[in-house]
Structure 1
Amino acid sequence: MGGDIQFANPEFFWLLLVLPVALFWYYLKRKKQSPTLRISSLKGFTTASVLSKLRPFIFVLRLLAITAVIVAMARPQTEDISTRTKTTKGIDIVMAIDVSSSMLARDLKPNRLSALKEVASDFIRKRPSDRIGLVVYAGESYTKTPITSDKSIVLNALEDITYGQLNDGTAIGMGLATSVNRLKESKAISKVIILLTDGVNNAGFIEPQTAADLALEYNIKTYTIGLGTNGNALSPVGYNADGSFRYGMRQVEIDEVLLQEIADATGGQYFRATDNEKLEAIYDEINKLEKTEIEEFKYYRYEEKFRPWVLLAGALLLLEWILRITVFRSFI
């Protein structure tokens, strides 16, 4: 931003070397500037007046005027920079989120679904130039939020995702197909699905391979994430009398072969998240892989500050001239 003074032609400051030369010349010539009279005695003459001692002040005014002119020639100015950005390559992203009961497992803290929502929120905030939508799936699937550039809507919708909104199960093919349906009409140069699950495909009437073929047909890249620790995890195994879940240790089963095939078929990648830190690292990696190109334009506005120096030089020269023809007239 503006405020700091800079000089457009600083090379003119070399002219300031003239000033010490002028001072030296004045020192050598000062006694020759007025006539001298040699007499044997100063009796009967008054001593020099104060005005005669102040006569060099005239020369100082001229040097100050020259200095002001040199500063003006160097063109002091302030610079104000305004920046505009233009997105040249937008990305449309649909996040397909598994909301089956197994997403309440506690191998991630506090559970898989809550950990995912926290990490996904950070991911969304880091994509200010892209449009993002949400699809949720369990035994079936639906669009939670169509692709939109309004991140507040997406974040609020993500926060509202809970277990129990759909019949239980894991319909990976349905979740992927619904995501493709949201993106197939998109005009964006790059279209991406981030599909997350913690299980195997066991519901729905669309096969995951069929949905992957649809994604490939519409040139939609799919990143797949398998969520869950290796081995056993504390997971819901039944219901208590009050309707709450009863937890027990269950084997973590993720169809990694299927998720890898979906990613490979569509040009994406498969990731495995076994804890909170790994899940966060995966979304950071996807964020780096899918970059939005932004063109930045800078506009410069200069405000010239040489005029006050020109006025100062003129005022000093005027003052010198007035003093020469008035106060110091009899000494010059």
Structure 2
Amino acid sequence: MIFDSPRFLLLLILLIPIAIMMIFRYQKCRNAADLFAASASVGKKDALVKEYRSRMVYSDCFFVLFLGFLILSLAGPRWGEELVADYRRGVDVVLALDISRSMNVRDCPPLPGNQDAGQNASRLERALALARDLALGLNDIRIGTAIGKGRGILAVPLTYDSEAVLNFLDSLDSFAVTGTGTDLDSLITAASGAFKDNMPGRRGILLLTDGEIHSGTLEGALKKAQDAGIVLCAAGLGTEDGGPVPVEAGADAPNGVLLSANGLPVISTRRGEFLKNSVEKTGGIYIDGNRNDAAAILHDYFKSLSADSGLSGHRRESKARWQLFVLAALVSFGVSRFLGVGRRKKKIFPVLLCLFALSGISCSRTEGKLLIMEGNFFNSRGLYTEAISSYLKAMDYDDAAPYAEYGLGSAYWALEESQAALERYAAAEKVLALGGDHPELRYRIQYNSGIIYFEKREYEQAAKAFRGALEIDGSRIEAKRNLELSLLTLDRASSSQASTAEGVPETGNTGEGSDSPILYNYLRQREQDQWKSREWAKEDDTSGPDY
């Protein structure tokens, strides 16, 4: 058994003082039991005292169970597994930088804009420049940063704040972490630790290294990355010929370079082939980090991963069991109250059992509605991947299915996937056609479809959708306005095509939005003449919501 919020389990400690208080209460109530049975006959007195005390003990025990079950339900218990739909969109990227001493070797071409310096750039300088370019270019996805020198450290967790990543990169150098050697296994493990949340997106790690390994093995980290669905990419820094490793000058390094045991300079080389073979096992790519277009190539690659969206299949997930503990808490509370009342109220117990049975029957309906509410919460805050995941789960419940389809359409629309949104709206209409009266939902489907068609310049379909919305609810001003705008735009487009076909040149319009004042003045006049009614006076905001 696992828990979503194990911190709530600390509340179980409160049951200890509550149990102690009940023990003292029992001691005091023993005298009350004797007084209660004092008026009874001698034959019934002992039986009444025994029953009263036992009912009091059991009542208190079930009340403690009620509190315990309630606390366990708050902790979110899970056990067992179930298959859930897995929607993936977007990509999270962790920049894993090797900052070992070999990264100070200056065998990289000068950085762009620094050609006149006459000095090669170090591998670390080249890696940091590449990381900065990616952080600036991938500002619409979550980026994290990990560094490795002897051991890996997750320095910046996944964040949309590119400024935080850039500030860290600006302050980074090879002396930021103590240690020696390179352990890419530890670096990859630290970078993988950034993907601890359940956001259903693609996961990528970019290794910025020369490929030298002095400790650990890479095979274990590659296997873990593959199992976690992480794509490893690598940018190899340095050259195949390599160069001496610069260190602080001293007795052991009189020339300021690292020496081997036989007194010769240690030559560090790039292991490009090793890196390429390693990352390709996870489906990633390898690129020469010395290329000036390396950042552009990696940017396009990660963007392609981000654009790869949709239902990628199903995954196994621990099944939530908090509902069982809520039900157990209600039963315990009911039994506690039943045992605490007199003999004449025993008929309450069958009634409570009926209520609990009904609550169990309606549990599935409630869960579907809760998933819709959860999806709407995420959707309203721009967390579209989480919203889509909730809507997909809600589709398993018949009562929530049309709302789940509509929610998916709204999320797709927000993600600028208009065709997918229209397909979901059409699916919601099919579900509604099977039965049920949901006029507001049907109106929203038609209205939103009209907005999407208008954005796609399919004005005839847009007019048809807005007309359908008005057939459902003819009092909506925003649908009337958009229908008129669609018809007017369609008419103007037809006139323009006819004029072009007859060879009449179009004149008078020099800008894309030059017709806007004419259109809006015309629409305003038509609305004032045609749709003056009481409903107009009731609406404060005539713009209407775009659902």
Which TM class, normalised by the smaller chain length?
0.5 to 0.7
Per the alignment, residue 89 of structure 1 pairs with: 89
Which among 171, 193, 197 is matched to residue 183 of structure 2?
Answer: 171
Measured against aligned partners, the alpha-carbon deviations of 1:232-262 in whole angstroms (never above 9, x if no partner) come to 3253155337x99814765333344442332
Cα distance in 2 between the residues matched to 1:193 and 1:289 = 12
Q: What is the identity, as a one-letter code, of the residue corresponding to 1:220?
A: I
How many Å separate the matches in 2 of 1:186 and 1:134?
Answer: 19
Asked if structure 2 preserves the Cα contact closer than 8 Å seen for 1:237 and 1:246, the reply is yes
1:67-113 deviations in Å (ceiling 9; x for gaps): xxxxxxxxxxxxxxxxxxxxx93210001000001111111243221
Q: Is residue 132–residue 166 contact of structure 2 (8 Å, CA) maintained in 1?
A: yes
| Paired AA for residue 201 in structure 2 | I
Structure 1 155/245 Cα, relative in aligned 2: closer, same or farther at 3 Å? farther
1: CA distance, partners of 2:181 / 2:215: 6
What does 1:52-71 align with in structure 2 at a 5 Å threshold? none
The structural deviation recorded for 1:166 is 2.8
Distance 1:250 1:167 in 2: 18
Q: Report the equivalent of 2:23.
A: none
* Structure 2 counterpart SS, 1:260: helix
Q: Which residue of 2 aligns with 1:142?
A: 153
- The corresponding residue for 2:446 is none
Q: Which has the larger radius of gyration?
A: 1
Alpha-carbon contact 1:94-1:183 (below 8 Å) kept: no
Please, which moves more after superposition, 290-299 or 150-159? 290-299
Helix, strand or coil for the counterpart of 1:290? Answer: helix
Post-superposition shift, 1:269? 1.4
Determine the structure 1 residue equivalent to 2:267. Answer: 251
- Change over 3 Å in CA distance of 1:231–1:124 after alignment to 2: same
CA distance in 2, matches of 1:195, 1:119: 11
Change (3 A) 1:306 1:209: closer
Show the counterpart of 1:240: 250
* Equivalent residue runs for 1:181-200 within 5 Å: 181-200=193-212
Contact 1:93 1:192 (8 Å CA) reproduced: yes
TM-score by length of 2: 0.36
Structure 1 stretches of 4+ with a deviation exceeding 6 A read 305-308
Partner in structure 1 of residue 136 of structure 2 = 125
In 2: Cα distance, 1:187 partner to 1:168 partner: 35
Q: Secondary structure at the match of 1:154?
A: helix
Structure 2 CA distance for aligned equivalents of residues 122 and 171 of structure 1: 25
Name the structure with the higher helix share: 2
Structure-1 residue corresponding to 2:285: 269
Tell me the residue number matched to 2:220.
210
For structure 2, the residue ranges without an aligned partner over 5 or more in a row are 1-87, 111-120, 259-264, 308-414, 418-451, 457-481, 486-515, 523-547
Write the letter of the residue equivalent to 1:240: G
Alignment partners' CA distance in 2, 1:150 and 1:185: 17
Could you list the per-position Cα deviations for residues 188-218 of structure 1 after superposition, in whole angstroms to 9, with x for gaps in the alignment?
42111001211421125xx311111111111
Identify the residue that residue 304 of structure 1 maps to in structure 2.
Answer: 518
TM-score by length of 1: 0.57
Aligned-pair Cα RMSD in Å: 3.1
In 2: Cα distance, 1:152 partner to 1:238 partner: 32
Contact 1:232–1:250 (CA under 8 A) maintained in structure 2: no
Q: Indicate whether 1:155 and 2:155 are aligned.
A: no
Contact 1:236 1:246 in 2 (8 A): yes
For residue 288 of structure 1, give the secondary structure of its aligned residue in structure 2: helix
Separation in 2, partners of 1:244, 1:113: 23
**Structure 1: any 5+ residue segments left out of the alignment?**
1-87, 309-332
SS of 1:213's equivalent in the other structure is helix
Report the Cα distance in structure 2 between the residues aligned to 1:225 and 1:167, rounded to whole angstroms: 23
Q: What's the counterpart of residue 219 of structure 1?
A: 229
TM-aligned CA distance change 1:126 to 1:217, over 3 Å: same
1:236 alignment partner, SS class: coil
Residue pair 1:260, 1:270 contacting (<8 A) in 2 also: yes
Contact 1:260 / 1:269 at 8 angstroms: preserved in 2?
yes
Q: Provide the identity percentage.
A: 25
Q: Conserved in 1, the CA contact under 8 Å of 2:222 and 2:282? A: yes
Contact 1:176/1:211, CA 8 A, preserved across alignment: yes
Out of 297, 315, 340, the residue aligned to residue 285 of structure 1 is: 297
